[in-house]
Structure 1
Amino acid sequence: MILAMLLGGLATEVSATPLTPFRYEDQAQRHCPGDKVVWLDFKKGVYYRKGQKLYAQGFDGSYVCLSEARDSLYRRSPLGLR
């Protein structure tokens, strides 16, 4: 019982940044003016920066803020810039 109370108390202290996906790049940039915008591929679980080959490609993706993608534990694409 004490262990459950301790674990329950720890869970309430953790908070994650909500991920806000956008259909258009300029909408995402207005949402996070001090941050970079990335293309998040939900199916692959990776994000692409502007200039990478798969940036803004595919049907399973959306524009998001870089900090939100990182906070939501999505990983950076290993593919280089074109």
Structure 2
Amino acid sequence: MASGWEDKARLGWGSSVVPAVSAHVRACAPVDDRPQWLAFVGGTWVARPACLPLTITSRGQTAHVQLGVGVPCDGTTPPSS
């Protein structure tokens, strides 16, 4: 979670989910040298709908993204019903 959001939202992934301001998800080794699909229990917790700023780090690279929880973020449209 980006700085300044510590009191507004939490996230958590894995079998023993404890909502926190950050989460670490370990990759599983490929089976038979082929990547496999992974699914993690968990999600996001917010007091009210928001566009959450997240910082994602993987393989030494960092990206800043927005996750819409109940609202669309800039440049996106809400799902149709």
Bucket of the pairwise TM-score, normalised by the shorter protein: under 0.3
Higher helix share: 1
Structure exhibiting the larger radius of gyration computed from Cα positions: 1
TM-score norm. by structure 1 comes to 0.26
TM-score norm. by structure 2 comes to 0.26
Higher strand share: 2
Question: Which one has more relative contact order, counting CA pairs under 8 Å at least 6 apart?
Answer: 1
